[in-house]
Structure formats: structure tokens, C-alpha cells
A and B are shown apart, each in its own frame.
Chain A
Amino acid sequence: MACLLRVVLLNRFFLYGISLTGFLFFWDWAAIHSSIAKFLPRPIEVYHQLIHMTGDTLAGKTLWGHLWASLRRVLIGFCIASAIGVPLGLFMALNRYVRSIVKPVFDIFKPMPPISWISLSILWFGIGEESKIFIITIGAFVPALINSFNGIRLLDPSLYDVVRMSGGNRRHEIFEVALPASFPAVFAGLQIALSNAWGCLLAGELVSARAGMGFLIILGMTVSKPAMIIGGMVVIALTAWLMTVVLSRVERIICPWKRELQL
């Protein structure tokens, strides 16, 4: 009997189940009895709201339409940021002239929270797509660059000695050592960039938008429908998580040698 209990308790999925069910029950209890119950929908209400939104249009779009509006902004901003940030970070690590020219300017902009650019970007680009993509690009650019840069800078220099002992030149040092060794750090940077991108997207959409998940959340506040707000939060979380999973899969294909890290 005690043995059976141990087997059940050691099963990680059993405990996951307990954790999630417990959370849902607590939420449900709070939605009925707590002091914020008036503006805290029950889980089942959030579910119904989401189902409802997939069929009905809000501001001309269903839930999928709004999700796509947001996803598109994130993807464009993330791709621009990676396409510039990763190569620039690698070049900075490999070439001291590039480093000396780019780093001082980069260091000025690095500590600025990307959200602080919102007002400027609206003045520059208006309240359309461009201003949101601009914020997302800035937010994703910084971690993409820093991690690519450090991925090469923090290498054990003895790895270059291996190539040099074989008579290799600078080209071999870069293509046989520096670039492959930087991949895990580059991917770690892209993961952070992706999560920053969602943060910036939301900030941008909360300030001004006519479509997107941030717009839905603001709409939920305006019409006093907390189920809409929480539904929006859940959908964002799921989508961001799915993108992280996809990125991890890509990394595992490109870097099969990397030991899997447990979070």
C-alpha cells in the first residue's frame, strides 16, 4: 500500500495534475467568494467567452483574426530584430573595429526599456502597424545582439589553439570554432527576444490599436468583461509558449549535440 502510494506520488504527471486542478479550484472558489469576485470570472466563464469569440466578431474580427493581427506584428518585428541583431552581434565579437564602432552607441540604447520608445514611435510612425513593429524590433534586437556577441566572446580560447595547431587560419577559427560554438547562445538570445517581443507588442497594442490581443484586453476593460481580459491573457500565453516550443525544436535540429537543459 505504501509502495503503491510512492509510485503514484513519484509520477510527475500525477503531481502536475494535482497542481493544475488545485489552482483551478482555488480560482473558482475565489471567483465566487472573494472580495474581487465581482470582476473575477470563473474558469468556465472564461472558456465560454473564448468559444464565443471564436465565432462572433469584435471590431470586425473573430478571436483568430485578432490573434493573427498580433502574431503577424510579433513575427515581423522578431524577424527584423534577429536578422540584424544576430549577425551584428557575431561581427562585433569577431572584429574589433566593428565592436569599437557599434558598442558605444549600443551601450547608450541598451538600458532604455523598449516600451519607453512608444510615444516617440507613435509620433514618428503614427498609430498603425509600423509603430508597433518598431517597438517589437527594438525589444527583440537587444537580447538577440547581446547573446550572439557573448556566445563568441565567452568561448574558451584554447578551442582556437586546436585549429591553430593543425595549421588553420583565421577563416578556420571562425567557421570551425566561433560560429558553431555560438549557436546555443544565439538560440538562448532568440528565446529572450521572442518573449520581449510579446511584451512590447502588448504595450504597443494597449496604447493604441484597432485589432490584436492587446486591443481585446483593453476592450474587455472598457466594457467591464473580465472574462474577455483573462481569455486574451490565456491565448497570448499559449501562443507565446507554442512559439518557444517551435524555436526549441529548431534548435535541437540545428544543434543535436547540445545536452538538453531542464528548466
Chain B
Amino acid sequence: MEKGASIVIADHPKIVCQKVSKVFTQRQGQVRIHVLEGIDLEVRRNEFLVIVGPGQCGKTTLLRIIAGLEKPTSGQVLLDGSEVTGPGPDRGLVFQKYMLFPWKTVQGNVELGLKVRGVPKRERRDIATHYIELVGLNGFEKAYPHQLSGGMKQRVGIARAYANNPEVLLLDEPFGQLDAQTRYLMEQEVARVWAAEKRSVIFVTNSIDEAVYLADRIVTLEGKLPGRMKSSYRVDLPRPREHTEKPFLELRHKITEETELLL
């Protein structure tokens, strides 16, 4: 009985997108841009889903719709079966351009969501300290964002998203601003942090290599507007993964061929 119940919960999709479309209108409706068209998507509990697509294919818009920051023109997004109508702390968003508050220290930035939600100061500090340690930034609690490197800034961004204890983490090309070396390191860090504290993850990127390294499942979008789903791949490689193993390279090659994307 107990076991059966837990299986039902595990099988229950965390996030469901049903025929999500988005049209932006400009100049009083004279210009209409179809950004997304009929997106159907499911993310299971604690699943790491990576959405891959080139620039300008609507993947950021899809993430913002799931975050509740944009409304879909048609279709809907369900979180645990109930419709998403706006942003909320049950989803944590990590931004491509970090979006740290320059006037707050690392500690202050990570505590921000807790402060907004009225969590008492002591508890706030303990939670923030925990996640600052989790992302490997202990010792930098009192530093200001401008004193940090790009990789460290994004570590703060990840800790800030985790601090609200969200059920779903949304990462919008989080390493797009980083150099290749740092990016490689941060992919390992995300895999490590996620293994330590599992959440349902939707990770948006334009790098197939990054997708194969991180994902349980990869969804590709078409390379032009409006963004449509193209293919879905299950990634069953054991973790931690190696970029140079044969199965890794084969899968990467396969997706690359089918996606007609440049790596």
C-alpha cells in the first residue's frame, strides 16, 4: 500500500504544458510574432529536462511562461495538476544575466526571497548559509556581486533559486555568459548540486554537449519561429558523465545530426 502510493506520486508529472502557444503583438496589433506553437511538454518529479534550441527559437519565452512571468496566448501550464497563473516561490528561476542585486551582499541576495516571504532573520541566515555552502561559496557571504567572477555570480543565482525551496528549478541559459572553461566546470557543479538536492529541473541551453552532460531527457526545438517541439531523447548514461566516453559522443553526434545545429 505504502509502496503503491509512492509510485503514484513518482509517476505523477510535476509540470505539464498543454498546447502552449504565444503570440507577441506590437504597434497596436499590426505586427504579430508567433513565438511558440502548440508546445506539449511533461516534466516528471525530480527529472532533469534540458530544452535545446538555437537563439531566437522561443525557449526563453517558454521558460518565462512556465515561471508565470508571461501568459500563454493559448494553452496552459499545470503545476501538480493546477494551472499556473503567475510567478511564485514554488518555482525558482536562474537568469542568463545573473540578475543579482548589486546593492546586496552574496548573503543578502540569497536571502532575498525568504525576506520577501517574511521568514525570520535567524532562519533566513541559516537557510542562506546552507545553500551558499552547497554551491561552494563559503567565505564569500559578505562579498558584493561586482567583486565576483561570472561563474561565482551564477553560483549565487543558483543558491538564490534554491533558497526558496522550490519544487521546480528553471534555468535560462545560465552559463551563456561564461567562458568555455568556466562553463565546463559549472556544468559539473550543477550536476553535483542537483544530485545533492534533487528537484524537477527545466534547463534551457543552446549547447547539445551541455544537454547530454546534464539531462535525463532532452527536448529539441525547431530552429525558427514559431518554436515547435522537434524531438525528444532519453539520456540513460550513468552519472557522473564523461564528455569523452563513446556512448556520450554517439548520442551527441546523433542529436547534432538530427537537429542541424552547429555545436
Q: Which residues of A contact B (CB under 8 A)?
A: 156, 158-159, 161-168, 172, 176-177, 180-181, 183, 255-259
Q: Bound complex: CA of A60 vs CA of B97, how far in Å? A: 63
Is the beta-carbon distance between A166 and B113 smaller than 8 angstroms?
yes
Is the beta-carbon distance between B88 and A162 smaller than 8 angstroms?
no
> A165: which of B92, B97, B102 is its contact (CB, 8 Å)?
B92
Besides the contacts A161-B95, A166-B112, what 9 more A-B pairs have beta carbons closer than 8 Å? A156-B97, A158-B95, A165-B93, A166-B113, A167-B88, A167-B89, A167-B113, A181-B103, A257-B102
> A176: which of B91, B99, B116, B146 is its contact (CB, 8 Å)?
B116
* B144 partner residues in chain A, CB cutoff 8 A: 256-257
Instruction: Determine whether B217 belongs to the interface, using a CB cutoff of 8 Å to chain A.
Output: no
Is the beta-carbon distance between B69 and A257 smaller than 8 angstroms?
no
Q: Identify which of residues 223-254 in chain B touch chain A, using a CB-to-CB cut-off of 8 Å.
A: none
Question: Which 3 A-B pairs rank lowest in CB-CB distance, beginning with the nearest?
Answer: A166-B113, A168-B116, A166-B116
Instruction: Determine whether B129 belongs to the interface, using a CB cutoff of 8 Å to chain A.
Output: no
Min CB–CB distance A64 → chain B (angstroms): 40
> A164: which of B87, B92, B105, B160 is its contact (CB, 8 Å)?
B87
Is the beta-carbon distance between B146 and A165 smaller than 8 angstroms?
no
14 contacts between A and B (CB under 8 A): A158-B95, A159-B101, A161-B87, A163-B116, A164-B69, A165-B88, A165-B92, A166-B164, A167-B88, A176-B101, A176-B115, A257-B144, A257-B145, A257-B146
Q: Bound complex: CA of A177 vs CA of B104, how far in Å? A: 10
Residue of chain B at shortest CB distance from A255: B103
Residue of chain B at shortest CB distance from A256: B144
> B87: which of A165, A172, A180, A257 is its contact (CB, 8 Å)?
A165
* A180 partner residues in chain B, CB cutoff 8 A: 101, 103
Instruction: Determine whether B67 belongs to the interface, using a CB cutoff of 8 Å to chain A.
Output: yes
